[in-house]
Structures are given as C-alpha cells and as structure tokens.
Amino acid sequence: MSDVRVWVNGAIVGPDEPSLAALDHGVTVGDGAFETCKVIDGEVFAADRHLARMDRTLAGLGLPTADRAVLQKGVEAVLGEGDPIGFGRLRYTITAGPGPLGSDRGEQGMSYIVTAAEVAPLAATTAVATVPWTRNEHAATAGLKTTSYAENVIALKYAKDKGGTEAIFANTRGELCEGTGSNIVVVVDGVLRTPPLDSGCLAGITRELTIEWARGAGIEVREQALPMAVLETADEAFLTSTTRDVQPIHAIDGRELPAPGPVTTRVQEAFAKAAAASMNP
C-alpha cells in the first residue's frame, strides 16, 4: 500500500501510519459514507455528482452535509503529492467521528479521510456470478453508499471463486438488483434495461451518465423491475462503475454472451464521446 496517498483530518500521513481514533464510529460500527471517483491526468471525473451523492448518503445516515472546503483540501493534498496520477482512483470517506463502543454516536465531529492511487485499467470484458444472498430494498441504508461493506466482501470472494470479477445480487423480491460495486444493464430486444432505484440498488454515477448519454445517442433505455431469470436470456449485458465505465460482460454464471455486442458497443461509443467532452458532466 506504499503507493497509496493518504490524508486524514487535515494532514498527509503514511498509508501505514496510525491516523484515526480507535473509537472512531467508522471503525467500531461502520458508521460512515464514502465516494470513489475516477482520476484522469490528475483531475477528478464527475466531481460535482459525487459530492451531491455523498450528501445524499450523509443525509440518509442522519449526519450533517459534508464540509466541501475540508474535502477539497484533502483532494488537493493527495492529488498534489508526487507525480500526477494518469489513471487512478480517489476515495474520500466521512465517518461520524469518535463515539462510544455501541451504536450511539459521539459529539466530537466527523472524520475526513481522502486517499488516491494509480490503478491499472480493467480488462476489456468481464465475467460475473450471481450470489445466494439478497439486497434488502427496504433497509434503512438501501441505496446509500456507506462504509458497511462486509456483505460485499463475502459476495465478491464467492464470485471470484467461481471465476468472476463481480457478484450480482437479487433483492428480497427476487428481482435483479446490482453488483458489489457496480450497476448492471442487460440488453433485451435491442433495449437497455436496468433495475430502477427502488430495487435497492445504488444510484451509480456511471449508471446515471450511461442512461443520459445512451438516450442522447438515440438508444432506448428502460429502468424497470427485472426477474433474475433475465440473466439467463439477455442478449447482451454490461456493468457500469467508476473505474469500469461501460464494461461488457462475456459470461454470467458460465453462460457466454457476445462482449461487446452491437448495442453495448454503441453505448460505449456514446459514453466515451460524452466523457471526453467534459471532466465534470
């Protein structure tokens, strides 16, 4: 982790240097929110959309909105440390701050953490695996990007053991929902179909942009409830996420798909063209 740049509560620290209180609520109970942003040539992509989603998550957790001036100092600090990051990941996390050992919160103020690192571009296509666990679309944290990620860790390991790079969840109604860190889109009869937000999936920034830009390119997109069985019959499928952009899926639970198929190719082209036009769409 020596290549990860870390800033905590106002100061650059070593990636292995103690820098957060042991009783921080983000450590003891996972009480916090985070955003992961793509970095291109030292600049954050879609910065304003990520900040807006951070505030939605904080509001859902009952925490104050982010101090954007503080966050900006952290972002500038990690991106300004060393050579510019050509392609990488920036993550900022805000926790409820130091608190008691239980679920009650303290009153010492929130903790701010910003990290950044160069990453290798992902493969051109990927395989995914469905998992036997569900997302609870009625949970208090449904649709929030919180630091409570243990179930994602378990699900991702399950998928990787089956040869995938992402795990796909159903919700409690048996509908297609999302991945551990991505949204999923399928192509059926030439139409893009993706779970609606009330399925319990995260309102992904890349999902949002993909829908906007695909529609702008004349591609029909429907946000609709989908049975998990659609994965057995879909003509094409792809994932969207911060570092994946639009990543075609070449296999779902071992079933092979064209990757990219013709519709996915059009989506990739529309996304690339629009993304190149603005770093903060």
Percent of the chain scoring above 90 in pLDDT: 95
Which of the pair, 191 or 16, is modelled with greater confidence?
Answer: 191
Region 71-92 average pLDDT: 97
- pLDDT tens digits, one per residue of 130-170: 999 999 999 999 999 999 999 999 999 999 999 999 999 99
User: Residue for token digits 């050509």?
Assistant: 86
**b vs e for 232-245, b when ≥16 Cβ sit within 10 Å of the residue's Cβ?**
eebbbbbbbbbbbb
Query: How far apart are alpha carbons 237 and 261 in whole angstroms?
Result: 8
- pLDDT tens digits, one per residue of 100-137: 999 999 988 999 999 999 999 999 999 999 999 999 99
Whether 2 shows a pLDDT value over 80: the answer reads no
Q: What angle do CA 186, 192, 197 make, to 5 degrees?
A: 80
**Confidence (pLDDT) at 28:** 95
For residue 236, what are its two tokens? 């094409």
Whole-structure pTM value: 0.96
**Confidence (pLDDT) at 107:** 87
Whether 81 shows a pLDDT value over 80: the answer reads yes
Instruction: Identify any residues that bridge with 98 across adjacent strands, giving them in sequence order.
Output: 24
What is the average pLDDT score of the chain? 97
Query: How far apart are alpha carbons 174 and 135 in whole angstroms?
Result: 10
Decide: helix, strand or coil at residue 59. Answer: helix
